[in-house]
């Protein structure tokens, strides 16, 4: 499953993830710079913040209450498409997803 990360400076990182992996796990495995993921996916750090734009945003399940709560603690301001990448599980339908990285995770 192909994932594209676009950093705040517009630099692009393309990686591959596996179905069932979270986007955060795929990013950490591929050493994507800009995803810190300090808590390892336990939804307590908000340093795996990504911004998902249309059309991809509509293809994701809505964030759950716990994710909504942690999205208030992102270092960079929360945007309409802000998500925590540890909560997005890869499925074949997400092949080619594009995500923007915030300017900072701290």
Look-up of token digits 């800009």: 34
Which tokens sit at 63?
């964030």
Residues of the shown chain interacting with ligand FES in the complex, contacts defined by CB under 6 A? 24, 37-39, 41, 43-48, 70, 84, 86
Least distance CB 48 / ligand FES (angstroms) = 3
Spatial separation of the C-alpha atoms in residues 98 and 26, rounded to whole Å = 14
Judged by beta carbon, residue 10 or residue 36, the one nearer ligand FES is 36
Q: Closest CB to ligand FES among 10 and 65? A: 65
Least distance (Å) from ligand FES to the CB of residue 5? 15
In sequence order, which ranges of 1-106 are alpha helices (DSSP H)? 23-29, 65-70
Identity of the residue, 1 or 45, whose beta carbon is nearer to ligand FES in the bound complex? 45
2-6 and 97-100 as β-strands: parallel, antiparallel, unpaired? parallel
């Amino acid at each position: 499953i192909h994932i594209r990360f676009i950093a705040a400076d517009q630099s692009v990182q393309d990686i591959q993830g596996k179905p069932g992996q979270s986007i955060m796990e795929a990013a950490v495995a591929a050493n994507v710079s800009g995803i810190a993921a300090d808590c390892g996916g336990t939804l307590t750090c908000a340093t795996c913040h990504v911004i998902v734009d249309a059309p991809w945003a509509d293809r994701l399940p809505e964030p759950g209450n716990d994710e909504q709560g942690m999205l208030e603690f992102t270092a960079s301001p929360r945007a309409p498409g802000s998500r925590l990448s540890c909560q997005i599980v890869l499925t074949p339908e997400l092949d080619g997803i594009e995500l923007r990285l915030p300017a900072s995770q701290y």
